[in-house]
Structure 1
Amino acid sequence: MAEIRYLRAINQALADAMAADDSVVLLGEDVSEAGGAFGASRGLRERFGPERVIDTPISEAAIAGAAVGAALSGLRPVAEIMFMDFTTLVMDALVNQAAKARFMFGGQRSVPLVLRTPHGGGLGAGPQHSQCLEAWFAHVPGLKVVCPADPASAYGLLRAAIADPDPVVFVENKALYAMKAEAPETMPVLEIGRAATVRPGRDVTIVAYGAAVHTALEAAGTLAGEGVEAEVLDLRSLQPWDEAAVLASLSRTHRLVVVHEAVEAFGVGAEIAARMADIGFDELDAPIVRVAAPFMPVPFSKGLEAAYLPSAARVVDAVRRTLA
């Protein structure tokens, strides 16, 4: 085991994928000479050359369009969109072209591209640089969506996304970039669509993804002091999501809380709650509770932003509600 930062794990995954496959190329704003807005591609231009690590104009629509064309032409592009808020400008290429190509061409063509983009608050970046829009993409047939919570998952899921024959939206919470955690020196490639139990428990299941996993773990620690053992599942993959793992956990604990940083209304948690209320109804001993952001833009003020984001205290309160 060795300690590694989340951002370094992403950089390592990109480097290893590029070394293993000459068809893997990177493109985006400032990804080449500057090494990316957050440093994810630092050093890759020097190692693989500017023809494979490509700076683009400031046009997210152009980046996405070029990535779709490159993927249809036999390359495996990894396109970086600097903030998830700016994916509003990639929707036609990603949703109408990349996601539909396999279907439109009768299965004869695929679009093996990855769109990397950071989401989330906590940095005081305001309402146009902090949104969590992953539910948009999880709603689109033909797209896969993943959101790792730790360095090993970031590495393993990014390698899997790059190898996947279909388009994958790879979501990174920028508040996790500096996070350090132990990981195997040789990190494995993970399977898209598989959740991980990061804390076992018997009294309640807490399902989360991305930075919310750490909020859930903090809450579980507090609850343990009260004699409540919460099982925490890191969803990792949002589309497809590990319905079987959530149901199996629910069948052990009989209570469910879903946590995510995105707005609660019409979010990933709503889909999980709806499915478990259907296929897991007989296992439920209490209503399913969601803990997420309110229906409003992310505040710029640090104090307001802290109140906006789901907290461990809110998760603890939600669990108490299910146990009452």
Structure 2
Amino acid sequence: MTHPTNPDARLPNPGLPDPHLPGPASLRTEAVNAAHPDLDQLGTADLVQALLDDQRHAVDAARRAGPALGSAADAALPRLRRGGRLLYAGAGTSGRLGVLDATELTPTFSWPPARAVPLIAGGERAIREAVEGAEDDREDGYAALRGVGAGPDDVLIAVAASGTTPWVLGAMQAARESGTLVIGLANNAGTPVLTGADCAVLLDTGPEIISGSTRLKAGTAQKIALNALSSALMVRLGKVYGNLMVDLKATNAKLEARAVRLVQHATGCEEPRARAALVEAGGQVKTAIVALRLGIPADEARARLDAAGGQARAALDAR
């Protein structure tokens, strides 16, 4: 397939291995873990403990990636402030983790679903079942990213444990041609997902305790990194006041009760007053807090928040 944005370039044949990509033998995530050669002979309690202990490497890898994640957040913020979207691209476990992260932004931070777009190799069916061969189709990854109309204000988070997944690399190529910021998360150093990204985040988890099963600590490290990155972005975008999730979307009884508690905690008021303020604010926690703290109507509180770019602390300080 020849693409109009790059008529002289052809993507690698999706049915053939890309000779430029590192082979499995050079990837640490594919190496045989020498620590537990007799894993299958352990008693159940020892087996579970060994699996849990190995997960600690995921936390260590994510912590080492902290500076890179911070730089990625800083690079993404101006685009999101201009109205850009968070796009996710991954295959298999990595793709499903992207779907999870994108989906949870709406109830947690009232982030519009249209501005968190998860793309997974094999399409929606791949969320629940393996779609064999989908991850090898680089052209389909390219087409998937092109299909959502990515532009220069958007941010692509490309995730692949191997760092070599052709479908993800196709999405990254389309993103670069569209001027989209590319953040690459991978569990192997020096791989194309990292070298081809604007912001590279290495999650070096090493060989899996069940060799090659990157749904284990490689996936855990990705989950931690995605949580940290998207949550940091939401904090910087004014979705949090102090450490309170003041932009949550109360869509069930549990979240409605949480909204009341958040207003009470932030203002020191009693439950009936918090509930009344939320009703007046149309369920918006942040608006209710500003209204109660400043003793003003909800409409005026909302106007103050709009003028402060949605930042509750700035709206409260601008007296």
Q: TM-score, normalised by structure 1?
A: 0.24
Question: Whose relative contact order is higher, 1 or 2, with alpha carbons under 8 Å and at least 6 apart?
Answer: 2
Larger Rg: 2
Which has the larger share of strand?
1
Q: TM-score, normalised by structure 2?
A: 0.24
